[in-house]
Amino acid sequence: MNILVIGGGGREHALAWKLAQSPKVQTIYVAPGNGGTALDARLENVNITGVHELRAWAVSKKIALTVVGPEGPLAAGVVDEFRKHGLRVFGPTQAAAQLESSKAFSKAFMKRHGIPTADYETFTDPVAAHAYLDKKGAPIVVKADGLAAGKGVVVALTLAEAHEAVDFMLLDNTLGVTHNEGGARVVIEEFLTGEEASFIVMCDGKNVLPLATSQDHKRLLDDDLGPNTGGMGAYSPAPVVTPDVHARAMREIILPTIRGMEKDGIPFTGFLYAGLMIDANGHPKTLEFNCRMGDPETQPILMRLKTDLVDVMLAATEPGPHGHLDQVELQWDRRTALGVVMAAHGYPLQPRKGDVITGLPKQEDDAVVFHAGTAMKDGDVVTSGGRVLCVTVLADNVRQAQQRAYEVALGVHFDGMQYRTDIGHRAVKHATP
């Protein structure tokens, strides 16, 4: 069968790489893809991004299954368009994707359905927002109500930072937020303490299939310092998600969300990502929802997945009121997977493009360099975005995975390259008696 993966980042490279391992697959198309997908003989890039153009192309190519990677096409209604023309597609509808595309929708939904999250208020008026900040004090969290490629959240440790974030989001739009209907809005919410984890599940409208646990590193610099980014690295499994935390997250957050969406007449299909904050007592609260797999969590998670991903996707997209994910059992590699993101000069605010990348290693069973912000130019692989590569490895434990990932990373070079040297530090702390 022919499969289409929509998107061009590291998550999509990893999805295409995993789907290509299935014996059922003839060709995997990636639209628009990147330099890494261009180099893989099993994958074929398609330079189309428009929703209607993609649908017309998929119909003409008799695409048997489409998997949507990023949030942009989901918010633009790509799933609705594909389904309308009888195409099999995995992802949420435009209405369901509001869980990610509108922070205001998401917070109101959680409040309505009793899903644990931080206290909050929503503002369109900068004066009212600034007054609220002065009343609440810092630390506090300011979120843009719209898609911002992972950069629309400011965890302000001082009031000055919080006021600046409100001005960025409501007045200047320095962060390049795609505003929802009604213009610029911010959600200001209480600062939660604890340890973060990424909790990602697959949904078919009714049934829920949890993926392996993972943990992202949002800050640019070692020791979780510097500005927030889309993610500088991740590993799986995440020790902070104990069996008890896992059960609570499913019972108190994931299942009420799926049932709540169903009750509201917006059944959820696709990947659902809950960013959790887990307090010292093991109680999780929801920081945010994403309607897709996380990037870079996808890379380590899929490195550990042993089950044929095509079979899972077909079960999730069975025709009818909902799919058959209740009949699927996922098999996981017991080893730890760890991914280190190599970012461009100037990331996250002004990433430089066009730097030549050298030293890319051959793929191995336990080490893959997934491409994100790369492109082909005159036979060279060059940087084309902020997060350029994700060096992802499998090893027996987190310390060995760290060592192996950084060994591979040392061989890769591009001018201005930046990466953290402590990915997995929390897991090491958990492993230390």
Residue 313 reports pLDDT greater than 70? yes
Average pLDDT in the 100-119 region?
Answer: 93
Residue 178 reports pLDDT greater than 80? no
Average pLDDT in the 229-255 region?
Answer: 97
Q: Give 261-287 pLDDT, tens digit per residue.
A: 999 999 999 999 999 999 999 999 999
Measured distance CA(376)–CA(418) in Å, rounded = 21
Measured distance CA(150)–CA(313) in Å, rounded = 26
- Look at residues 309, 330, 334 and name the one whose alpha carbon lies nearest to residue 394: 334
Judge whether 121 and 190 are in contact, CB under 8 Å.
no
Averaged confidence pLDDT in the chain: 94
| DSSP reduced 3-state for 99 | helix
Q: Give 377-411 pLDDT, tens digit per residue.
A: 999 999 999 999 999 999 999 999 999 999 999 99
- Look at residues 173, 192, 189 and name the one whose alpha carbon lies nearest to residue 133: 189
Measured distance CA(342)–CA(397) in Å, rounded = 22
- For the entire predicted model, the pTM comes to 0.92
Least confident stretch, 100-109, 236-245, 336-345 = 100-109
Structure tokens at 72: 């942009």
Measured distance CA(404)–CA(303) in Å, rounded = 14
Environment class of 250 (CB within 10 Å of its CB; exposed 0-12, middle 13-18, buried 19+): middle
Distances from the Cα of 337 to the Cαs of 64, 192, 340, 404, in angstroms? 30, 28, 10, 10
Judge whether 356 and 414 are in contact, CB under 8 Å.
yes
pLDDT attached to residue 321: 87
Specify the DSSP element, H or E, that contains 59.
helix 51-60
Measured distance CA(94)–CA(74) in Å, rounded = 6
Distances from the Cα of 203 to the Cαs of 95, 115, 308, 328, 368, in angstroms? 15, 18, 17, 12, 28
- Sequence letter at residue 400: Q
- Look at residues 425, 387, 402 and name the one whose alpha carbon lies nearest to residue 225: 425
Q: Give 187-231 pLDDT, tens digit per residue.
A: 999 999 999 999 999 999 999 999 999 999 999 999 999 988 999
Instruction: Report the chain's terminal Cα–Cα distance, integer Å.
Output: 49
pLDDT attached to residue 346: 97
